[in-house]
Structure 1
């Protein structure tokens, strides 16, 4: 088995794994490959750091989402405004 080929990934795959890790969708081997890549790649370490910081900020932001009823009211209001023009 060629371990070098199975453990080393390119930057685009590392970024994809980093994004999956952010949403808790990455598997164990993907996390391992990403961490191994981060040891060698400064740009991907920076990307991963920024990604982790973004996740922390979003979790701390206390964002409230709209209900479906509120969205429908807004959509109807926008449609009404557009037809009145």
Structure 2
């Protein structure tokens, strides 16, 4: 019975494991617990599916991040604008 309690998790813990799994940070045990939970929880299966779809969309998008230098320039411009008001 003790092993069963350790493997069964609630929805909030399953969502946390799902999020960790999305970023490839979940351990094997967490993945197992999440998969067992997904077997009997329809809402969490839907959440997991949406999470997976979101990850795929983000990976396919060609998002360009700003360099630290660009951020610094923008901060300086904003500061100048604020001080000139």
Alpha-carbon offset, residue 3 of structure 1: 2.0
* Alignment match, 1:51: 51
TM-score by length of 2: 0.96
Confirm or deny that 1:17 pairs with 2:17. Answer: yes
Alpha-carbon offset, residue 5 of structure 1: 0.2
Alpha-carbon offset, residue 8 of structure 1: 0.4
* Alignment match, 1:29: 29
Hey, what's the Cα distance between the residues in 1 that align with 2:68 and 2:29?
39
Hey, what's the Cα distance between the residues in 1 that align with 2:83 and 2:61?
36
Alpha-carbon offset, residue 13 of structure 1: 0.3
TM-score by length of 1: 0.96
Aligned residues: 85
Structure 1, unaligned runs of 5 or more: none
Structure 2, unaligned runs of 5 or more: none
* Alignment match, 1:8: 8
Hey, what's the Cα distance between the residues in 2 that align with 1:81 and 1:63?
28
* Alignment match, 2:76: 76
Alpha-carbon offset, residue 2 of structure 1: 1.5
